[in-house]
Amino acid sequence: MNIKKIAVEEHFGFPEIIDDSQKQLPQEGWPKLRQALLEVHGRLLDEMDTCGVQTAILSLASPGIQAIPEKQKATEIARRANDYLADIVAKKPDRFQALAALPMQDPDAASQELVRCVKDLGFKGLCVNGFSQIDRDESAVYCDLPQYWPFWANVESLGVAFYLHPRVAPSRTDLHGHPWFRGAAWSFGVETATHALRLMASGLFDTYPKLTAILGHLGETLPNTIWRIEHRLRVMPRGIPAKKPLGEYLRNNFYFATSGNFSTKALINAILEVGSDRILFAADYPFEEISEAADWLDNIDAISETDRLKIARTNAENLFRLRTASDAAVPAATLDR
């Protein structure tokens, strides 16, 4: 008997900007992926039915709004993209939920749009696709900077989680001559882990201790590296603003999703670092196969059935407040495929 799952990092495409995602992917695979991003009520729903996924939490495919340098344009397209996503959810509210796409180019506009999405559209949180380009295509502005702190105060007050999602990093000289490491194979994780470390080191979670972040791919390498990062910061202190060791923020303010990292060894390492209560199931549709993610979780023999249930659905139910009265009346493990 397989547990009905909640998948927390599945993507849709907004027609006005969907082709921006092509810049992060091999040319030959794009037509199929493009179609899949637009077929949420077709291909995605079919795959969910086949693989025992009850609910998918949808977010705008990277780089999304973050790749629009013009602030006003970013604000306008974010609103239209969120309305488009709200329509998708409204057609199947029992199968889909939503994370807001926000114009981080303008923190005030981002706050206003987040409030609208949460309070008026019923969205469950937000997804930030990495750094934002502001005014210039070659710019890269990260969310730890002081101008974003009022925005983060708003996120904390709303009590919603934010997904810190990768995008292609700014030009990196260390990858010249090795284009295969650009994107999901390597640079996505490095870029996003660095962004997360910036948030932790800035003292953001000291000021807003109830902020909750999610990292995909089982923590973007941080479960493997956080000890050494902490160790070197202790050995060679450099005036870091954070009041606590960075690992404390990782364990208290972050969740990890399984998206695109279906490795049992990596999962066990993540559980050892943050605990099984902070691991969420995800596939990363359409860039990864839901069937692979679901089969892997269903058949891991290295975790308990209690932890399998937590990862498959109950952690997400609690984090995103998805559980209904009828759900609560029936043990989740009895919800068959």
Q: Which positions are catalytic? A: 284
**Cβ atoms of 322 and 313 closer than 8 Å:** no
Phi, psi of 318, rounded to the nearest 5 degrees: -70, -45
CB 198 within 8 A of CB 172: no
257 SS3 class? strand
Question: Of 295, 282, 211, which Cα lies nearest the Cα of 249?
Answer: 211
> Quick one: which of 38, 106, 7, 55 has its CA closest to 311?
7
What distances in angstroms separate CA 226 from CA 91, 145, 231, 298, one per listed residue?
Answer: 42, 22, 8, 29
Helix, strand, or coil here: 71? helix
Q: What is residue 5's three-state secondary structure?
A: strand
Beta bridge partners of residue 206, listed in sequence order: none
Helix (H) or strand (E) holding 108: helix 107-115
- Cα–Cα distance for residue pair 301/297, rounded to 1 Å: 9
104: nearest Cα among 63, 71, 150: 71
The encoded tokens of residue 241 equal 């603003």
CB under 8 Å to 281, separation ≥6 — which residues? 5, 6, 7, 8, 257, 258, 293, 297, 311, 312, 313, 316
